[in-house]
């Protein structure tokens, strides 16, 4: 048996690994890795365009009132205890918009009943939250539909609790 093969094979192997086609593939691979890892934008530009941080807080109905889009304020509304920042939908909820009545308010009843009458809003903002207990299945279904849409479209920035709720004090102590 010829034992030269054991010395020739490794040399041939090295030659084939370093072949021109492999060198081209290796350079392509390195270019791809570089393109994947390099930052898309300069870091300063990324910082400038990043959205402002969202602070989750507890609101009582009176504390929510100023968030109606007037005086440069963002537009918030509450749906079943969740406070949504609907500022991107300012055309709907901001001053002069078709649904401005909901700005800064608990919009649950109006959305459930498909009505923007004044009586849809909780009259006494210092009192208990609207528990919606008198609403029927269709109305609650409609409300869930709106909630789903809001959850997809807007950020939850806090929760709504009645005046005097224990969490209000806890939140104020934190702040």
Query: What letters, b where the CB count within 10 A reaches 16 and e where it falls short, cover 138-170?
Result: ebeebbeebbeebeeebbbbbbbbeeebeebee
- Specify the stretch interacting with ligand HEM by CB under 6 A; choose among 7-15, 33-41, 114-122, 131-139: 114-122
Question: Residue 114, interface with ligand HEM (CB under 6 A)?
Answer: yes
Min CB(141)–ligand HEM separation in Å:
14
List alpha helices for 66-136, DSSP H: 90-93, 108-113
Residue of minimal CB distance from ligand HEM?
A: 89
Min CB(111)–ligand HEM separation in Å:
6
Three-state secondary structure call for residue 143: helix
Three-state secondary structure call for residue 75: strand
74: Cα within 13 Å, side-chain hemisphere: 14
Question: Residue 84, interface with ligand HEM (CB under 6 A)?
Answer: no
Of 129, 136, 130, the closest CA to residue 114 belongs to 136
Min CB(103)–ligand HEM separation in Å:
11
Min CB(99)–ligand HEM separation in Å:
6
- Specify the stretch interacting with ligand HEM by CB under 6 A; choose among 11-19, 55-63, 86-94, 129-137: 86-94
Min CB(76)–ligand HEM separation in Å:
12
Question: Residue 94, interface with ligand HEM (CB under 6 A)?
Answer: no
Question: Residue 135, interface with ligand HEM (CB under 6 A)?
Answer: no
158: Cα within 13 Å, side-chain hemisphere: 23
Q: Which residue has the tokens 């269709």?
A: 138
Residue ranges that bind ligand HEM, judged by CB under 6 A: 86, 89, 92, 99, 110-111, 114-116, 146, 153
């Amino acid at each position: 048996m010829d034992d030269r093969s054991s010395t020739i094979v490794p040399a041939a192997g090295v030659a084939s690994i370093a072949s021109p086609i492999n060198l081209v593939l290796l350079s392509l691979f390195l270019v791809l890795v570089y393109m994947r890892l390099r930052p898309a934008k300069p870091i300063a530009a990324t910082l400038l365009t990043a959205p402002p941080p969202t602070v989750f807080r507890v609101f009582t109905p009176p504390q929510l009132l100023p968030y109606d889009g007037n005086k440069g304020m963002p537009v918030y509304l509450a749906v079943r205890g969740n406070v949504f920042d609907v500022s991107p939908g300012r055309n709907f909820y901001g001053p002069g918009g078709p649904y401005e009545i909901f700005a800064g308010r608990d919009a649950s009843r109006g959305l459930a009943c498909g009505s923007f009458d004044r009586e849809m809003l909780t009259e006494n903002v210092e009192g208990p939250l609207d528990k919606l207990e008198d609403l029927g299945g269709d109305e609650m279904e409609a409300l869930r539909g709106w909630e789903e849409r809001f959850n997809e479209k807007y950020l939850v920035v806090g929760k709504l609790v009645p005046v005097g709720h224990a969490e209000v004090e806890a939140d104020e102590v934190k702040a």
